[in-house]
């Protein structure tokens, strides 16, 4: 089950990653960075205020990124020099039909698809199909339309908002099997 933060990050083109608790081998670089930071802070006078501590961390950040050569970079250049030499990339944008970033007045909800294959949103049931029963989906009020996405960000359906008083909107597909059964005539 994905939370709303992860879905929002995916809509921005960001893949959230986490490591397992108490498994430092998966966080090795991060753990090593903290070790270096703590060694630096141990050599500083004990900070009396949060502002003093922030100043010490800012000083560490400056040394770590601009003064200290990095053994993992070609020519042992500083991280700042490597960063400055890298061309600026355009921010990632989700490719259609993936979940869009909600705009002003838009609303996103994570909902469970009922056994009947429908999802309820603002008092209206939207039919998706029984193949989606039990799954969680992302429902987006996009102003004039309602869009339903799977949690990977793929658009399942999009409907204009129905007239007031409507309680069910079909997925516009006929009931029954989605593909015809072949080979029955050969068996008789």
**Per-residue model confidence as pLDDT tens digits over 101-144:** 555 455 778 888 998 888 998 888 998 888 888 888 888 887 78
Q: Rounded to whole angstroms, how far apart are CA atoms 180 and 85?
A: 58
> Over 70: is that where the pLDDT of 149 sits?
yes
For the CA atoms of the chain, what is the radius of gyration? Answer: 26
Q: Does residue 180 register a pLDDT over 50? A: no
Which element (helix H / strand E) includes 60? helix 50-62
Give the per-residue pLDDT at 23.
66
Examine the pLDDT at 182 and tell me if it is beyond 50: no
Top-confidence residue, 25 or 86: 86
Burial class (CB in 10 A: 0-12, 13-18, 19+), 80: middle
Task: Give the model's pLDDT for residue 174.
Answer: 56
Q: Indicate the pTM of the whole model.
A: 0.40
Q: What percent of the chain clears pLDDT 70, i.e. is strictly above it?
A: 77
Predicted confidence band at 186 (pLDDT cuts at 50, 70, 90)? very low
pLDDT at 15 over 50: yes
The pLDDT value given to residue 130:
86
pLDDT score of 35 more than 80: yes
CB atoms within 10 A of CB 81: 15
């Amino acid at each position: 089950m994905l939370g709303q933060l992860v879905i929002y990050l995916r809509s921005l083109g960001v893949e959230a990653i986490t490591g397992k608790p108490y498994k430092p081998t998966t966080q090795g670089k991060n753990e090593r960075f903290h070790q270096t930071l703590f060694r630096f802070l141990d050599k500083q006078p004990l900070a009396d205020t949060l502002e003093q501590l922030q100043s010490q961390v800012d000083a560490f950040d400056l040394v770590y990124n601009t003064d200290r050569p990095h053994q993992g970079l070609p020519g042992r250049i500083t991280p700042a020099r490597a960063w400055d030499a890298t061309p600026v990339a355009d921010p990632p944008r989700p490719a259609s039909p993936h979940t869009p970033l909600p705009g002003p007045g838009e609303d996103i909800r994570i909902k469970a698809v009922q056994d009947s294959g429908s999802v309820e949103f603002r008092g209206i049931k939207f039919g998706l199909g029984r193949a989606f029963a039990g799954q969680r989906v992302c429902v987006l009020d996009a102003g004039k339309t309602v869009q339903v996405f799977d949690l990977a960000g793929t658009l399942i359906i999009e409907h204009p908002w129905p007239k007031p008083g409507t309680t069910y909107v079909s997925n516009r597909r006929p009931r029954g099997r989605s593909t015809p059964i072949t080979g029955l005539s050969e068996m008789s």
